[in-house]
Amino acid sequence: MKELEHYIRAASRNGRPPRPGIILGIRMALAALGRLKIAGLAHHTRSLVVVVETERCLPDAIELATGCRLGNRTLKLRDMGKMAATFVDLVTNRAVRVAARESANRKALELYPTVEREEALSLAYRKLSEEELFDVAFVKVQLRPEDLPGYRAPRIFCDRCGEGVAFRREVRIGDRVLCAACAGKTYYEPL
């Protein structure tokens, strides 16, 4: 698997190999691209969208192997606490969801009982077949136009705080246009 080893080398930091989750994420991306029959990513730069279901190491691995990023609106986070991702080919309108099997961890520890857990997982994630590592299913994903790369819309200003809101993320309450924070949907509390 030359491609896998290329990405593993790219993910290494200061001569240290990547963590097992990064290797699993790279394998996940390669499995999905294979199922979608995407051979080269150069022509898919803005026509592949990936929705990751955890904020752990998976987004880093997906970014490395696909080039999808939050900054170019091709990487989405729907944190469901799962080691899973859905890959959407905007050209063919096909999507595949790849989820890590819990049984792969047990299998890794059985294969390498004499090494430390993290090393056993790293070794096994390189060796196990896609079928042993993942559940793969073709799915349908409905992406809103404002969630697609390249979407353009005017910036709306919050009637309460005056901050700009992009990509149709404003909240309309009666005749008022508010940002999510002023509408009570915030992750922070002002001091």
Residues 61 and 23 in one domain: yes
pLDDT at 1: 40
What is the rounded distance in angstroms from the CA atom of residue 136 to the CA atom of residue 158?
A: 42
Residues 121 and 140 in one domain: yes
What is the rounded distance in angstroms from the CA atom of residue 92 to the CA atom of residue 106?
A: 36
Residues 60 and 134 in one domain: yes
pLDDT at 42: 54
**pLDDT exceeds cutoff 80 at 44:** no
pLDDT at 43: 53
CA angle, 2 then 93 then 24, to 5° = 35
Domain end: 144, 164, 179, which one? 144
Q: Looking at residues 49-78, what average pLDDT do you find?
A: 94
Residues 51 and 69 in one domain: yes
Residues 41 and 16 in one domain: yes
> Which pair of structure tokens corresponds to residue 35?
């199922």
What is the rounded distance in angstroms from the CA atom of residue 17 to the CA atom of residue 137?
A: 30
Q: Looking at residues 44-49, what average pLDDT do you find?
A: 80
Residues 107 and 133 in one domain: yes
Say how many domains are in the chain: 2
Residues 96 and 25 in one domain: yes
What pTM was estimated for this model as a whole?
A: 0.88
Specify whether the CB–CB gap between 101 and 137 falls below 8 A.
no
Domain end: 110, 125, 144, which one? 144
Domain end: 144, 162, 180, which one? 144
Q: How confident is the model over 151-184, as pLDDT tens digits?
A: 888 899 999 999 999 988 999 999 999 999 999 9
Least confident of 37-41, 78-82, 83-87, 164-168: 37-41
Residues 111 and 165 in one domain: no
Least confident of 9-23, 63-77, 82-96: 9-23
pLDDT at 59: 95
Residues 87 and 8 in one domain: yes
HEC profile of 46-106: CCEEEEECCCCCHHHHHHHHHCCCCCCCCEEECCCCCCEEEEEECCCCEEEEEEECCHHHH
Which amino acid does the sequence have at 127? K
% of the chain with per-residue pLDDT over 70: 96
- CATH of residue 102's domain is 3.30.1330.130
**pLDDT exceeds cutoff 60 at 33:** yes
Residues 26 and 51 in one domain: yes
Specify whether the CB–CB gap between 120 and 111 falls below 8 A.
yes
> Which residues are within 8 A (CB) of 19 and not within 5 positions of it... i.e. 6 or more apart?
57, 118, 122
Residues 158 and 88 in one domain: no
Domain range for residue 160?
A: 153-191
How does the average pLDDT of the chain come out, rounded?
91
CA-CA-CA-CA dihedral for 187, 158, 144, 21, to nearest 10: -30
Residues 97 and 191 in one domain: no
pLDDT at 110: 95
**pLDDT exceeds cutoff 80 at 150:** yes
What is the rounded distance in angstroms from the CA atom of residue 138 to the CA atom of residue 160?
A: 43
**pLDDT exceeds cutoff 90 at 93:** yes
